[in-house]
Amino acid sequence: MLLHIPGPVLDIEAKVTRPSLWKYRYTLFAMAMIGILVFYQLAVVLLLRKSSEHSDSPFSGSKIINPYSHWNGNKGEKISLHTHSDEVWFTPERHTIHEIKTEYAKEGFSNIAVTDYGQVSNAEDPSYIRGMEWGQNVKKRHILAIGIQKAFYDYFPIYASRENLNWVMDRMKKLGGYVILPHPKLFDSYSKEEMSALDGFQAVEVYSPFGDDAKILDTLLSSGKNVHCMASDDLHYFPESVIQKFDQPFWKNWIQTLGGQRGRKGESFLRYIVTNDGVKDQTSVIQALQTGSFYCVKKFFQGALDPMVPQIQVNDKNQIQVTSKERYLEIRFIGQKGDILQVSPDTSSATYQMMESDPYVRVELIALTGSILSNAMFRTN
């Protein structure tokens, strides 16, 4: 027989350990912030929109517009319209406006535009052209506005539809800006199809350190969009040979070195526009941009002589007459869809008879030291 000895009864309550939400507070906070960001982005995508209004019909009519009708045929003014300075708080390692102006002046430039990210320069120096570059997205879908009166926030840090981009460009123009699509080949930020579907921009960078492609211009012109060429350095840093001459603080040298910006040859001073003689202050440059009265230039190498821009006239017989003080390797007349209508080799002058079937004609000149693009001569009613 088993002896049962009663002992103390232990009243043990089963305790169920439940996870506390407090230990997941950072995860929950992050999820809440992501939710707010997604809601915000969706709201602005739906609200800040502008539909396309352009016509896809090509240029037509008996009248031919020549943007160079008042050109005096002299040397012209070299202008750089896309430079970045240290004015923005998150790019303090870049060059000062004084350094940029000084170096470009040494290379024969008449003026520059400072186009920092999300900010219009407020420095007291009134001589240079104001501008800004819009866009914080990783795909580099940026937009330049030259002459814009004030900056505004990028409401689309993650995603922007075509209608959103139209809204941005429309607002830029209302604030006095001349609107440019920069570096479309950088990360394929703007496809040719997308550019053809967008409204509001007035020029596209076909000469850029991130890709040179004049055929982009033909794609847009052939769809009936009267847009201009643009050429720029998109200056972020000068080459090492220039930086060494600057009296920079040690921390700027240190940050530039860590960022891999030192020791580069660079591509500054190679891409620019040329306006008519005397057209170099902000007001007159903006007027020239609006009418297309400028040339886009790409020099083949640093230190080369500047290729001379021509004079272009359209006579009463609808003949496009190109004359210059420089002898070019080729003068090309280019029409719709990029078709080469005529090539005149080894000459300083050429004439093309514009046909009724030509909605527009642009001129491309290949010199010994660089290439020059004109804006289009086009038909209108």
Q: To the nearest 10°, the Cα dihedral for 163, 166, 167, 172?
A: 170
Helices (H) and strands (E) in the chain, counts: 8, 16
Does 320 map to a domain? no
**What's the mean pLDDT in 108-123?**
94
pLDDT, tens only, 331-341: 999 999 999 99
Confidence band for 356, pLDDT divided at 50, 70 and 90 = very high
pLDDT, tens only, 18-38: 556 677 778 878 888 888 777
Q: Is the pLDDT of residue 357 over 80?
A: yes
Confidence band for 377, pLDDT divided at 50, 70 and 90 = very high
Q: Is the pLDDT of residue 167 over 50?
A: yes
Does 347 map to a domain? no
pLDDT, tens only, 205-247: 999 999 999 999 999 999 889 999 999 999 999 999 999 999 9
Average pLDDT, the chain: 90
Does 42 map to a domain? no
Given the structure tokens 């995508």, which residue do they identify?
A: 45
Q: Is the pLDDT of residue 360 over 80?
A: yes
Task: Collapse the DSSP code of 96 into the 3-class scheme (helix H, G, I; strand E, B; otherwise coil) and give the result.
Answer: coil
Does 213 map to a domain? yes
Q: Which residue has better confidence, 233 or 49?
A: 233
What proportion of the chain, given as a percentage, has pLDDT over 70? Answer: 93
pLDDT, tens only, 187-211: 889 999 999 999 899 999 999 999 9
Taking the C-alpha atoms of residue 317 and residue 314, their distance in angstroms, rounded to an integer, is 8
CATH of the domain at 288: 3.20.20.140
Residue type at 222? Answer: S
Does 29 map to a domain? no
Does 169 map to a domain? yes
Q: What is 115-182 written as a DSSP string?
A: EEET-----S--SSEEEEEE---TT---EEEET-SS----S-SS---HHHHHHHHHHHHHTTPEEEE-
pLDDT, tens only, 281-295: 999 999 999 999 999
Closest to 297 measured CA to CA, from 278, 310, 281, 286: 310
**What's the mean pLDDT in 62-80?**
92
Taking the C-alpha atoms of residue 17 and residue 213, their distance in angstroms, rounded to an integer, is 66
**What's the mean pLDDT in 175-182?**
97
Does 1 map to a domain? no
What proportion of the chain, given as a percentage, has pLDDT over 90? Answer: 72
How many domains is the chain built from? 1
List the beta bridge partners of residue 313.
321
Taking the C-alpha atoms of residue 226 and residue 199, their distance in angstroms, rounded to an integer, is 11
DSSP secondary structure code for residue 235 in this structure: B
> What residue numbers bound the domain in which 132 lies?
74-298
Q: In Å, how far from its chain's centre is CA 273?
A: 13
Closest to 364 measured CA to CA, from 215, 226, 225, 222: 215
Residue 306: predicted pLDDT: 97
Does 264 map to a domain? yes
